[in-house]
């Protein structure tokens, strides 16, 4: 997961992590842990994030799958 890209999308769309957390109904602490890499979202969380940030396919891949394969496969 590209945490810098995720944080950038949150700030670009909501201005702050707090505003993003309020919008999606999460505690601010959960969002802070997410962007710090201390919390791994499950598929339901990813769905909420993608919809809230209005990510298209390329945006989703840039945030959640920045490397096509963990083995470096093409």
pLDDT at 72: 65
pTM value is 0.87
56 neighbors 50 (Cβ within 8 angstroms): no
- Higher per-residue pLDDT: 40 or 70: 40
Fold of 3-64: 434 Repressor (Amino-terminal Domain) (1.10.260)
Domain extent listing, the chain: 3-64
Cα 45 to Cα 55, 67, 71, 72, 73, distances in angstroms: 14, 20, 25, 26, 27
**What residue spans of the chain are helical by DSSP H?**
3-14, 17-24, 28-35, 43-53, 57-64
Cβ-proximal residues to 65 (8 Å cutoff; 6+ apart), any chain? none
Residues 11-69 have pLDDT tens digits of: 999 999 999 999 999 999 999 999 999 999 999 999 999 999 999 999 999 999 887 66
């Amino acid at each position: 997961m590209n945490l810098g890209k995720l944080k950038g999308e949150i700030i670009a769309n909501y201005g702050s992590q707090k505003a993003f957390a309020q919008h999606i109904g999460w505690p601010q602490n959960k969002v802070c842990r997410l962007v710090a890499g201390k919390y791994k979202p499950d598929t339901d969380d990813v769905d909420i994030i993608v919809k809230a940030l209005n990510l298209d396919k390329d945006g989703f891949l840039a945030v959640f799958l920045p490397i096509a394969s963990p083995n470096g496969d093409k």
